[in-house]
């Protein structure tokens, strides 16, 4: 059996001539088999150099024709170009090419059009199955362990979105990260397309569409054992400066960055500052954990499911100088004296249902402020389960949410409510399929407005001071 390979540029008339002759030989000789390799003009030279170097051949033009040793294997026997193939066909098989030059030029043009269409279709198919690339930093932490499972399972980015996850951490955690990558692979989730472990930021952030930065979040340190505040801020900010520089250089320009590592407002500010080409609206700080905690306290007070508390807003410097605002909050499913229609969206104002100003101004505020400290007393660990749940729900809403419900989100201020532009501050937002919008028309009480303005000024000074020290 004779098997020939004919390779050439899609727009080459000589390739077209050899191809047509090979088709005729295949039609008339059952034992004659041909395989075609068509390359675009821009990729031909590189491909030709590689194939000739690999097989020890010398050839410089299109087409390149060789005979495969079907029975014996090996690199094959170089025949040459178009003229060599024509001569072989005439001598061995008595078949000649009768195509005129003008016909061959037209055929080569058609070949080029067909090749372009085929390549475009292949590119579109690749895009359809191209996985969403996600980077998770501090990936050996217990917090990341809870986040990674849901990311790989495909719960966050839509029902048909494949994902590839990069696990980023320090060099001494590589064995742990390799083990985590193996575990994820062993789960055999249908949308998971692979994971890699690295301590190299150039690898970690290469072409990522989502970056989840967990450094210093859920780090297992007793919240009472705090170091000097300025020293702590600067130490944390140095890590996020490095992340920002790497995101700027390697990530996709529409990358979405969610930061959970505290002090989260300053860290988000620093990350954005050192990734100036990424839209500022693509950097968000996690507020959902504090929001969920506040909802949980209210839900226990009213004896309802936590999910029944809606539109509770956290303002300010997340977990450090924040303010829970219940003025717009509603409760669904409250078994009180007032009964509404039997519909799922009937709600009542939370302040009216609580009806306990002393609790709202005292115990509620103090319990929320000391939540992390009290959790440590019970478990001697920071909140990894609740924080991972908050991260995942925050991402899910950001990526595919579409709701009239308000949530809290740390974003870079554009001057809403008089908050200084540029600082990262927690505002009320609504999500809509990959976008968020600050709800900028709420009426705030004088006391709340005064509190958040003081928090904003302190945060502005703090952020700018840290940024100056990093220059």
| Tens-digit pLDDT profile for residues 364-386 | 888 888 776 776 666 655 667 88
Whether 456 and 349 map to the same domain: the answer is yes
Domain count for the chain: 3
253 and 157 housed in the same domain: yes
- For residues 391 and 264, what is the distance between their CA atoms, to the nearest angstrom? 13
Given 285, 308, 331, the domain boundary residue is 285
My answer on whether 266 and 301 are in the same domain is: no
Residue 308 and residue 442 share a domain: yes
List, for residues 173-213, the tens digit of each pLDDT value.
Answer: 999 999 999 999 999 999 999 999 999 999 999 999 999 99
Judged against a pLDDT cut of 70, whether residue 272 lies above it is answered with yes
Better-predicted residue by pLDDT, 142 or 261: 142
Considering the domain architecture, whether residues 311 and 278 belong to the same structural domain is answered as: no
- Provide the domain limits for residue 219: 131-285
- Whether residue 149 contacts residue 187, with contact meaning beta carbons closer than 8 Å, is answered with yes
354 and 406: one domain? yes
Name which residue leads in pLDDT, 350 or 213: 213
State the Cα–Cα distance between residues 100 and 447, nearest whole angstrom.
90
Q: What is the per-residue pLDDT for 226?
A: 52
Domain co-membership, 219 together with 364: no
pLDDT for the residue numbered 336: 58
Boundary of a domain, candidates 62, 95, 126: 126
Q: What is the mean pLDDT of the chain?
A: 87
Going by pLDDT thresholds of 50, 70 and 90, the confidence category of residue 325 is: very high
Helical pair 142-153 and 174-186, crossing angle rounded to 10 deg: 30
Range from 27-36, 120-129, 146-155, 320-329 carrying the lowest mean pLDDT: 120-129
Question: Looking at per-residue confidence, does 1 or 115 come out higher?
Answer: 115
pLDDT on residue 158: 82
Determine what percent of the chain is predicted with pLDDT higher than 70. 89
pLDDT 10s digits, 10-69: 999 999 999 998 888 888 888 888 889 999 999 999 999 999 988 889 999 999 999 887
Phi, psi angle pair for 242, to nearest 5°: -60, -40
- Look up the CATH number of the domain holding residue 151: 3.40.50.720
The span from the CA of 445 to the CA of 417, in Å, is 12
Residues 257 and 349 placed together within one structural domain of the fold: no
Q: Which of 285, 307, 341 is the last residue of a domain?
A: 285
pLDDT tier, 348 (very low <50, low <70, confident <90, very high otherwise): confident
Among 11-25, 227-241, 334-348, whose mean pLDDT is lowest?
Answer: 334-348
**269 shares its domain with 136:** yes
Q: Find tokens 């397309």 and name the residue.
A: 193
The answer, yes or no, to whether residue 438 has pLDDT greater than 90, is yes
Both tokens of 345, joined, read: 């969206």
Please give the pLDDT value at position 408. Answer: 96
Q: What is the pTM of this model?
A: 0.72
| Judgement on whether residues 136 and 278 belong to the same structural domain of the protein | yes
The reply to whether 63 and 168 lie within a common domain is no
CATH for 338: 3.90.110.10
Among 23-37, 183-197, 323-337, 405-419, name the one with the lowest average pLDDT: 323-337
CATH number at residue 43: 3.40.30.10
The span from the first CA to the last CA of the chain, in angstroms, equals 71
pLDDT at 102 over 50: yes
Asked whether residue 310 falls in the same domain as residue 379, the answer is yes
């Amino acid at each position: 059996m004779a098997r020939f390979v004919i390779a050439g540029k899609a727009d080459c008339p000589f390739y077209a001539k050899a191809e047509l002759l090979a088709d005729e030989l295949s039609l008339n000789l059952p034992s004659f088999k041909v395989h075609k390799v068509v390359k675009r003009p821009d990729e031909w030279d590189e491909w030709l150099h590689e194939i000739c170097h690999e097989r020890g051949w010398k050839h410089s033009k299109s087409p390149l024709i060789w005979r495969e040793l079907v029975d014996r294997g090996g690199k094959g026997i170089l025949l040459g170009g178009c003229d060599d193939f024509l001569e072989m066909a005439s001598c061995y098989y008595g078949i000649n090419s009768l195509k005129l030059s003008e016909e061959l030029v037209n055929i080569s043009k058609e070949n080029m059009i067909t090749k372009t269409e085929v390549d475009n279709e292949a590119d579109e198919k690749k895009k359809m199955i191209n996985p969403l690339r996600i980077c998770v930093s501090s990936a050996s932490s217990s917090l990341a362990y809870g986040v990674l499972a849901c990311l790989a399972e495909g719960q966050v980015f839509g029902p048909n979105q494949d994902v590839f996850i990069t696990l980023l951490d320090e060099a001494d955690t590589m064995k742990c990260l390799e083990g985590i990558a193996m575990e994820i692979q062993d789960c055999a989730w249908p949308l998971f397309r692979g994971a890699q472990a690295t301590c190299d930021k150039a690898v970690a952030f290469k072409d990522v569409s989502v970056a989840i930065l967990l450094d210093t979040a859920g780090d297992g340190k007793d919240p009472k054992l705090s170091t000097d505040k300025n020293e702590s801020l600067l130490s944390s900010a140095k890590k996020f400066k490095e992340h920002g520089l790497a995101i700027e250089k390697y990530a996709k320009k529409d990358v979405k960055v969610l930061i959970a590592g505290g002090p989260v407002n300053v860290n988000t500010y620093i990350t954005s500052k050192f990734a100036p080409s990424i839209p500022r609206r693509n950097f968000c700080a996690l507020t959902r954990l504090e929001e969920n905690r506040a909802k949980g306290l209210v839900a226990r007070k009213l004896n309802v499911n936590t999910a029944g508390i809606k539109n509770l807003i956290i303002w300010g410097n997340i977990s450090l100088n924040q303010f829970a605002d219940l003025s717009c909050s509603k409760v669904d499913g409250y078994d009180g004296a007032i009964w509404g229609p039997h519909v799922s969206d009937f709600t009542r104002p939370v302040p009216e249902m609580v009806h306990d100003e002393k609790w709202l101004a005292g115990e509620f505020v103090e319990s929320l402020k000391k939540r992390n400290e009290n959790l440590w007393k019970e478990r001697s660990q920071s909140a990894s389960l609740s924080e991972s749940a908050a991260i995942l729900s925050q991402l899910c809403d950001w990526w595919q949410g579409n709701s009239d419900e308000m949530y809290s989100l740390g974003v870079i201020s554009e001057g809403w409510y008089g908050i200084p532009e540029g600082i990262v501050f927690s505002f009320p937002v609504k999500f809509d399929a990959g976008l968020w919008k600050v709800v900028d028309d709420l009426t705030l009480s004088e006391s709340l407005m005064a509190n958040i303005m003081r928090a904003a000024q302190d945060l502005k000074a703090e952020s700018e001071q840290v940024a100056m020290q990093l220059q």
